[in-house]
Structure 1
Amino acid sequence: MHDAQHMLEPKHRALLGVAAERGLSSADGIGLCFQLLSLAAAIDRDCAARLAPRGLSEGKFVLLFLLHEQADGLAPHELADGAGVTRATVTGLLDGLERDGFLSRQPGQEDRRKTRVTLTAKGRTAAARLFKEHTDWIGSLFAELDDPDRARLRELLARIWRSTDAGRAAAREGQS
Structure 2
Amino acid sequence: MRLEQKYTALLGDVQRRAIGGGVPSAIGQLRLCFEALGLASAIDADCATRLGRHGLSEGKFVLLSLLRDVPEGLSPHALAERAGVTRGTITGLLDGLERDGFLARHADQVDRRKLLVRLSPKGEAAASTLVDEHAQWIASLFADFTPAEMQLLSALLEKAWRKTDRGAA
Q: TM-score, normalised by structure 1?
A: 0.89
Of all paired residues, the percent bearing the same amino acid is 55
Task: Kindly indicate whether residue 20 of structure 2 is the aligned counterpart of residue 12 of structure 1.
Answer: no
Residue equivalent to 2:118: 118
In structure 2, the residue matched to 1:137 is 137
Deviations 1:11-62 (A, max 9, x none): 1111111111112322221111111011101001000110111111111101
**What is the root-mean-square deviation in Å for CA atoms of aligned residues?**
1.1
Provide the aligned length of Structure 1 versus Structure 2.
164
The equivalent of 2:104 in structure 1 is 104
Q: Is there any run of 5+ residues in structure 1 with no aligned partner, and where?
A: 170-176
Structure 2 residue ranges without an equivalent (≥5): 19-23
**In structure 2, the residue corresponding to 1:54 is in which secondary structure?**
coil
Structure 1 or 2: larger helix share?
1
1:42 aligns with 2:37: no
Other structure's SS at 1:142 match? coil
Q: How does 1:162-173 map to 2 (within 5 A)?
A: 162-169=162-169
| 3-state secondary structure, aligned to 1:145 | coil
Question: Once structures 1 and 2 are overlaid, which stretch shifts more, 101-110 or 127-136?
Answer: 101-110
> What CA distance in whole angstroms lies between the structure 1 residues aligned with 2:112 and 2:14?
60
Letter in 2 for 1:19: V
